Amino acid sequence: MRRRQFLLSAAVPLLGALAAGAAQARQQAADPDADLSVARPAYPQGKGPRLAIDGGHNNFHTVDGRFAPFAAVARADGYRVSGLTAPLSAASLADIDLLVVANPLAAVNVGNWNLPTPGAYTPEEAAAVRAWVEAGGALLLIADHMPFPGGAEPLAKAFGFSFDNGFAQKTSEGPEFFQRQDGSLLDHPINRGIDRVQSFTGSSFRAPPQAQPLLVLRGGWSVAMPQKAWEFDDKTPRHDGDGLLRGAALSVGRGRVVVMGEAAMFTAQVGGPQKRKFGFNAPTAPQNKAFLLNVLRWLAPPP
């Protein structure tokens, strides 16, 4: 009982911030002034792997929308970037080296961020992606806070990952930093040269035993599981988030998968009336762009 009281009381200071986050989510857009350059590209311009960003499953982040800065940085690194709106199948994946899926939604949840949140992919699509990765494809799967883990669940489950369909939040005020000094950013080639990255309100998940953790929730986290996104009260179910994951990497057959529980950290956005910067454009996240590039280069290694 004392543990539950602690979690509820610790969450109270977050409610105002979460309410502000709800308003920001409705207003967020790509930052037109973000630095999208890459100092030392991995590939000659337009000669790198073929990267497709899923836009066919009611995705909150798409190649020409909120993930346009992500796409621009990938192009600057030499990747050949396009959108993909077709159903996922052996045929639609055949000409792709790296598939990026960010915040998909089932049709029933478009404009309706309430439970239930069914999967956005058919069993046939999930099986096709699994077979494609085993044969050498690379997948970056990102599911932000609720309702997006529900939409991503079929793809996550195909590789043994399990998302909490909620909001993973620190129990103290302050930015969501993952850093070497407190053990929340772990040793892995993706984290090479990175001391700290920042995320901006996301989900938590569990990984299969063979996966390698990248970002771990440490130092006091609570996972709220609301019926409707951004609506919380003292009856909202919550559980302890410490030790759960925000990022992990997995080798599957001849291919690779990276799963992340937050999308904004991979792009550059402005939100709210004050046009607050959040993503790799945030002044508190100077290494996020390098982290993004490390993720892409691990998934599709340069020759």
Q: What's the pLDDT tens digit per position in 231-249? A: 999 999 999 999 999 999 9
Please measure the distance between the N-terminal and C-terminal CA atoms of the chain and give it in whole angstroms.
56
Q: In this structure, which amino acid lies at residue 16?
A: G
Query: Which residue in 206, 205, 243 sits closest to 221, CA to CA?
Result: 243
pLDDT for 272 equals: 86
pLDDT for 11 equals: 41
Q: In this structure, which amino acid lies at residue 202?
A: G
Query: Strand pairing of 98-102 and 205-206?
Result: unpaired
For residues 8 and 11, give the distance between their C-alpha atoms in angstroms, rounded to a whole number.
5
- Specify the number of domains making up the chain: 1
> pLDDT 10s digit of each residue in the chain, 303 long?
333 333 333 344 444 444 444 554 557 899 999 999 999 999 999 999 999 999 999 999 999 999 999 999 999 999 999 999 999 999 999 999 999 999 999 999 999 999 999 999 999 999 999 999 999 999 999 999 999 999 999 999 999 999 999 999 999 989 999 999 999 999 999 999 999 999 999 999 999 999 999 999 999 999 999 999 999 999 999 999 999 999 999 999 999 999 999 999 999 999 888 889 999 999 999 999 999 999 999 999 877
What are the angstrom distances between the C-alpha of 170 and each of 12, 25, 89, 120, 191?
Answer: 11, 19, 38, 28, 22
3-state per-residue secondary structure call for the chain: CHHHHHHHHHHHHHHHHHHHHHHHHHHCEECCCCCCCCCCCCCCCCCCCEEEEECCCCCCCCCCCCCHHHHHHHHHCCCEEEEECCCCCHHHHCCCCEEEEECCCCHHHCCCCECCCCCCCCHHHHHHHHHHHHCCCEEEEECCCCCHHHHHHHHHHHCCCEECCCEEEECCCCCEEEEHHHCCECCCHHHCCCCEEEECCECCEECCCCCEEEEECCCCEEEECCCECCCCCCCCCEEECCCCEEEEEEEECCEEEEEECCCHHHCEEEECCCCEEEECCCCCCCCHHHHHHHHHHHHCCCC
What is the distance of C-alpha 36 from the center of its chain? 19
Dihedral sign (CA 119, 208, 245, 292) = negative
- Domain containing residue 117: CATH number: 3.40.50.880
**Domain, as residue range, for 128:** 2-299
At a CB cut-off of 8 Å and minimum separation 6, what does 16 contact? none
The count of residues in the chain is: 303
This prediction's pTM: 0.92
For residues 12 and 232, give the distance between their C-alpha atoms in angstroms, rounded to a whole number.
10
| Residue 200 near residue 279 (C-beta atoms within 8 A) | yes
